Amino acid sequence: MHTPPPTFSGFGLGLRKEHYRDFLDTDVPVDFVEVISENFMVDGGQPRDILRRVREKHPVALHGVSMSIGSSDGLDLHYLARLRSLVDDVQPLFVSDHLSWSRVAGFNSHDLLPVPYTDEALDLVCRNIDMAQDALGRAILFENPSSYVAFDDASMSEWAFLAEMSRRTGCGLLLDVNNVYVSACNHGFDPHAFLRGIPADRVRQVHLAGHSVGPGILIDTHDQPVCDDVWSLYGTAMSLLGPVATMIERDDDMPPLAELMAEVDMARDIATVSARREVA
């Protein structure tokens, strides 16, 4: 079992190309940035140069979308080798991906498809996590995704699955509070039960993002500000988790950096209040 991921209690932002210039030319007041790993798993050119320059100024978390840890076909070793090369180059704060799958039978959906919460899936996911952590030489964080389909043959809750997965493999957890909210609304579970059900000591990072409201369903679009309900849930989460790295994740309809920094400040304020409440 690998050394647990480090603890880090700063506040950060997802680094996206719209704000590269800001991060290169100014001192953006964040404690860390997170990048999408696959965007930098390239041979060379400007993306890798930008990442190197940003890394000189900030700790960087690598957040992947293509590990497909729930794939019944196993993992893509070529993918893992490329990710390892990036990890060695960047020396990231965290390496994370999602509890989901995207690849089967040579097909890659490039979407975070849902894993059924069954014993069979748990065994397979744990085997894949062991392999991935061995390939990268470190513990990885796995994020709870938003989901739009629940499977009838599930034998446990999502939070029970995450807890057992983390216990067996030593992986860390990345708690996406917006995803908890979206999935809770879509599947009718209590988001507070989710927060109480995951092992707090395994959570190393928190994501905050916005979602869209579809007909009878919430969709995790990352194109909106964080909504009030998610901020409220974040306050609850922080009182349960204690100090943990938090970041704002925005991928579409990108606003000026100042708007996102206001959300980072909001997260910082809420976490501070939650910490005082915990102490009291």
Partner 1 sequence: MNLAELQRNFRSWLVAPDDAIAGVFGAHAARGLHVYQNNYRAQLIGCLEVSYPQVRRWLGDDAFREAAICHIVGHPPHAWTLDHYGSDFADTLLSLYPRNPDLRELAWIEWSLSEAFVAADTRALSRDVLAGVDWDRACLRLTPSLRLLPATTNADHIWFALDNDMTVPQGAMLDAPGGFAVWRKGFHSQLDRVDATTFDALCSLRDDATFASLCDRLVDRLGEDEGVRRAGMLLAQWMDAGIVADIDDGSDETSMD
Summarize as ranges the residues that interact with partner 1 (CB under 8 A): 38, 41-49, 66, 70-73, 76, 78-79, 101, 103-111, 113, 116, 118, 120-121, 124, 147-153, 186, 214-217, 219
Residues counted in the chain: 280
What are the strands, taking DSSP E only, across 40-155? 60-63, 95-98, 101-104, 107-113, 141-143
Nearer to partner 1, 193 or 219 (CB): 219
Partners of 95 in the beta sheet?
Answer: 62
Nearer to partner 1, 83 or 261 (CB): 83
How far apart are the C-alpha atoms of 233 and 222, rounded to whole Å? 17
**Helix H or strand E segment including 213:** strand 212-214
CB of 17 to partner 1, least distance (A): 11
How far apart are the C-alpha atoms of 182 and 110, rounded to whole Å? 20
CB of 67 to partner 1, least distance (A): 9
CB of 20 to partner 1, least distance (A): 12
Helix axes 119-136, 77-90, angle to 10 degrees: 50
Nearer to partner 1, 45 or 258 (CB): 45
141-143 and 32-36 beta bridge pairing: unpaired
Nearer to partner 1, 200 or 223 (CB): 223
CB of 51 to partner 1, least distance (A): 12
Check the CA dihedral 63-205-200-188 and report its sign: negative
CB of 113 to partner 1, least distance (A): 6
Nearer to partner 1, 2 or 48 (CB): 48
